[in-house]
Amino acid sequence: MKNLFSIWFFLLAVIASPVKSSESYHIEHLEPPFWWANMTESGLQLMVHGKNISSLDPELIYPGIKIIQVHRLSNPNYLFIDLFLSKETMPGKFEIIFTKKGQIKTKYIYSLLKRDRGSAFRKGFSQEDVIYLITPDRYANGDRNNDSVPSLKEKLNQNNKDGRHGGDLQGIIDRLDYIEKMGFTQIWLNPVLENDQHTFSYHGYSTTDYYNIDERFGTNELYKELSEIANSKGIGIIMDLILNHIGSEHWLMYDLPSSDWINHNGEFVQTSHIHESIYDPYIPQFEKDLFTSGWFVETMPDLNQSNQFLANYLIQLSIWWVEYAKLAGFRIDTYPYINKDFLTIWSKRIAREYPNFNFCGEAWNNNPSMVAYWQKGSKPYDGYISYIPSMKDFPLQKALVQGLMSEEKWDSGIGDIYRVLANDYQYGDPYNLLVFAGNHDMQRIYSQLSENMDLYKMAMSFILTTRGIPQIYYGTEIAMTSTRDHGELRKDFPGGWAGDKIDAFNGIKLSGEQREAQNFMRELLNWRKSSSAIGKGSLVHYPVKNGVYVYFRLYGNNLVMVMLNNNKRLIRIDPGRFNEVLGEKNQGISVLDNRVYDLTSKINLSGKSALILEID
Ligand code: CA
């Protein structure tokens, strides 16, 4: 009875309290939560969220910082505070006080941190790198305590191919030695920001909090630690960022600053997914708009980046993560779906803040002109200006698989690769494209190539030696197979879970094929690191003849020759055809087996094989 009474009194107290609570204010979000002194851009816009917070006036006193303007939107639960930070502002902490009629109602201690030495001029990923793409939920479980957490909806279910499997940042930290020894120099993780969706949350593409790492992967501090340890091994971290949409469970969706933060006023209208809409000269305006303003799917509300406050919010959170987590790059999801005027502003600002940084957009289209459109330095038909240095090379991926899998004829076979690369004139910088044979959205490349080890080696030889920055999806190095099902193609990496019978990290119980693939990749990746022709060189290639594609990479005196024979039969190649590039050089050494090849006579190239020669 006593307990019942106390509950009753408690309830009475709660009911009786509204007069008092209307005068108490609580900041639920203040973002960015901290910032850095001495950034190139002197402006900073703070978004403050809390019940009726707009009825308060913010004030602060700190040398070098001024409040320029305070914005109040239709939702009284937000304040946007424009700050000016002079170049002389020193790192430190200060109070932002929020007052009403001269009385302090609440406050926030804001930190202005000191930037790392060289932060502004950090080097981004480049052709000298190879990027290892990891789906963090599916790679290695380094901490079983975070497999399910009380505060997040979806719990561990390793038996469900679309469920959470428990992989995390600690698992990756624990495997950095493996990644380093394999020869990868960059890690791109599928999104690791909080994804508190009911289902399919493991893939990470429905952000529910832009400033926090998903607890099931770890913490912000652990993400930074991963980056620092990786950096000490010469490995950079590339963050996968989604600016097009948020998850339907994002906290913003429960209290939008204004209804126009989400396209179609927060109502689900699906995008057409017709990429051509952007470039098509004949398309009606409604159809054109539908592509970018429609939602990707119902659980991914589409952000309206033409809203200035949202635009600032997205720009600042991007910079915040570069600075906080010491990033080497971004990969931006669904790039053409994003408001393109915003992308110009966003990419310009990132490039201005970090002139040597690299970031890459995903435009999943097999037409080179529709990928080139977005890259910095390209000259698109409508004069669109972009500052994004890199794009993913989908056309080349398609041509590679199609070329290797089709019959050698005048208009099919390996000539597909040659023909697509001949479109490179459209790119601002083709050497800065991300090249890949497979990724996290496609059937595993080994399966796409009918589980044929010869074709696999040809594909990997090509990806690791052609122009551009190679990206390898985790598991490709052990020739993992899959169906087209998304849960299947993101299978757990063997050895990442306690009790796994097969352990690819330590080479335990791998099949003959898996071992062959892994050794092949390790050798090629580590050789690649030492080759300046591959890391910095230009590409010269020859039109395909008799089903054989031959190309060179050149950098100063360093020359690499690659030959791909897509016939089933052996072909004898006359190096005389390549005199213009070879000049006086008469000898090449195979990078995989150190065999010496005489370039003054014909070279035997087995059917379905690749030969990579270093020429001195
Ligand atoms: Ca875990």
Quote the CA–CA distance of 480 and 447 in Å, as a whole number.
8
pLDDT digits (tens, 9 = 90+) for 471-507: 999 999 999 999 999 999 999 999 999 999 999 999 9
Q: Using CA of residue 596, residue 600, residue 602, residue 608, what is the dihedral sign?
A: positive
Give the per-residue pLDDT at 19. 40
Question: Percent of the chain at pLDDT above 70?
Answer: 96
Buried b (16+ CB within 10 A) or exposed e, 26-61: ebebbbbeebbbbbeeeebbbbbbbbebbebebebe
Q: Which residues contact 511 (CB under 8 A, 6 or more apart)?
A: none
Give the per-residue pLDDT at 139. 98
For ligand 1, the distance from its centroid to the CA atom of residue 216, given in whole angstroms, is 6
Give the per-residue pLDDT at 266. 92
The CATH architecture one would assign to domain 537-615 is Sandwich (2.60)
For ligand 1, the distance from its centroid to the CA atom of residue 156, given in whole angstroms, is 9
For ligand 1, the distance from its centroid to the CA atom of residue 157, given in whole angstroms, is 12
Structural contact between residues 559 and 585, judged by C-beta atoms closer than 8 angstroms: yes
Quote the CA–CA distance of 496 and 346 in Å, as a whole number.
37
Question: Percent of the chain at pLDDT above 90?
Answer: 96
Quote the CA–CA distance of 409 and 406 in Å, as a whole number.
9
Q: Using CA of residue 588, residue 589, residue 592, residue 593, what is the dihedral sign?
A: positive
Equal CATH topology for 29-114 and 537-615: yes
Give the per-residue pLDDT at 616. 82
Label residue 14 by pLDDT band (50, 70, 90).
Answer: very low
Quote the CA–CA distance of 5 and 12 in Å, as a whole number.
10
The pair phi, psi for residue 581, each rounded to 5°, is -95, -40
**Distance, C-alpha 94 to centroid of its chain:** 34
For residue 329, pLDDT over 60 is answered with: yes
For ligand 1, the distance from its centroid to the CA atom of residue 497, given in whole angstroms, is 9
Over range 201-210, report the average pLDDT: 98
Buried b (16+ CB within 10 A) or exposed e, 114-136: eeeeebbebebbbbbbbbbbbbb
For ligand 1, the distance from its centroid to the CA atom of residue 148, given in whole angstroms, is 8
Over range 242-261, report the average pLDDT: 97
Over range 571-600, report the average pLDDT: 96
Query: Which residues line ion ligand 1, judged by CB < 5 Å?
Result: 141, 143, 146-147, 166, 168
> What's the order of all strands across the beta sheet hosting 587-590?
538-541, 548-555, 558-565, 609-615, 587-590, 596-598
The two tokens of residue 176 are: 């950095």
For ligand 1, the distance from its centroid to the CA atom of residue 481, given in whole angstroms, is 24
pLDDT digits (tens, 9 = 90+) for 356-384: 999 999 999 999 999 999 999 999 999 99
Label residue 153 by pLDDT band (50, 70, 90).
Answer: very high
The two tokens of residue 99 are: 């007052």
Q: For the chain, what is the radius of gyration of the CA atoms? A: 27
Label residue 389 by pLDDT band (50, 70, 90).
Answer: very high
pLDDT digits (tens, 9 = 90+) for 438-449: 999 999 999 999
User: To which residue do tokens 């999806």 refer?
Assistant: 473
For residue 66, pLDDT over 80 is answered with: yes
- Per DSSP (E only), the strands in 152-306 are 186-189, 193-194, 209-213, 236-241
Q: Do the bridges between strand 57-60 and strand 92-100 make them parallel or antiparallel, or are there none, so unpaired? A: antiparallel
For ligand 1, the distance from its centroid to the CA atom of residue 573, given in whole angstroms, is 53
Q: List the chain domain ranges.
A: 29-114, 537-615
Structural contact between residues 447 and 410, judged by C-beta atoms closer than 8 angstroms: no
Over range 80-96, report the average pLDDT: 98
Give the per-residue pLDDT at 23. 75
For ligand 1, the distance from its centroid to the CA atom of residue 198, given in whole angstroms, is 18
- Bond prior to 18 in cis (omega within 30° of 0): no
Active-site annotation, residues:
333, 362
For ligand 1, the distance from its centroid to the CA atom of residue 188, given in whole angstroms, is 19
Nearest to 102, CA basis, from 57, 42, 54: 57
Give the per-residue pLDDT at 435. 98
The three-class DSSP label of residue 564 is strand
For ligand 1, the distance from its centroid to the CA atom of residue 276, given in whole angstroms, is 41
Structural contact between residues 453 and 521, judged by C-beta atoms closer than 8 angstroms: no
The two tokens of residue 614 are: 């270093």
The CATH number of domain 29-114, selected from 1.10.10.10, 2.60.40.10, 3.20.20.140, 3.20.20.70: 2.60.40.10
- Per DSSP (E only), the strands in 155-249 are 186-189, 193-194, 209-213, 236-241
Query: CA-CA distances (angstroms) from residue 395 to 211, 333, 385, 540?
Result: 34, 17, 22, 19
Nearest to 191, CA basis, from 174, 212, 221, 160: 212
For ligand 1, the distance from its centroid to the CA atom of residue 123, given in whole angstroms, is 31
The two tokens of residue 232 are: 């000490």
For ligand 1, the distance from its centroid to the CA atom of residue 314, given in whole angstroms, is 29
Over range 383-388, report the average pLDDT: 97
Give the per-residue pLDDT at 242. 98
For ligand 1, the distance from its centroid to the CA atom of residue 212, given in whole angstroms, is 17
User: For the chain, percent helix, then strand, then coil, each to nearest 5?
Assistant: 35, 25, 45
Give the per-residue pLDDT at 191. 98
Tell me what the pLDDT averaged over the chain comes to.
Answer: 95
For ligand 1, the distance from its centroid to the CA atom of residue 248, given in whole angstroms, is 24
The two tokens of residue 597 are: 């090849």
Question: Which residue stretches of 76-175 are H helix?
Answer: 169-174
For residue 84, pLDDT over 90 is answered with: yes
Q: Using CA of residue 270, residue 273, residue 278, residue 284, what is the dihedral sign?
A: negative
For ligand 1, the distance from its centroid to the CA atom of residue 506, given in whole angstroms, is 20
Nearest to 310, CA basis, from 210, 395, 222, 448: 210
CB-CB neighbours of 389 under 10 Å: 25
User: To which residue do tokens 């930070």 refer?
Assistant: 85
pLDDT digits (tens, 9 = 90+) for 118-131: 999 999 999 999 99
- Per DSSP (E only), the strands in 206-274 are 209-213, 236-241
For ligand 1, the distance from its centroid to the CA atom of residue 140, given in whole angstroms, is 8
pLDDT digits (tens, 9 = 90+) for 545-572: 999 999 999 999 999 999 999 999 999 9
Label residue 10 by pLDDT band (50, 70, 90).
Answer: very low
pLDDT digits (tens, 9 = 90+) for 282-319: 999 999 999 999 999 999 999 999 999 999 999 999 99
Over range 127-151, report the average pLDDT: 98
Nearest to 81, CA basis, from 92, 103, 97: 97
For ligand 1, the distance from its centroid to the CA atom of residue 578, given in whole angstroms, is 54
User: To which residue do tokens 């999104």 refer?
Assistant: 191
For ligand 1, the distance from its centroid to the CA atom of residue 194, given in whole angstroms, is 14
For ligand 1, the distance from its centroid to the CA atom of residue 30, given in whole angstroms, is 29
For ligand 1, the distance from its centroid to the CA atom of residue 439, given in whole angstroms, is 23
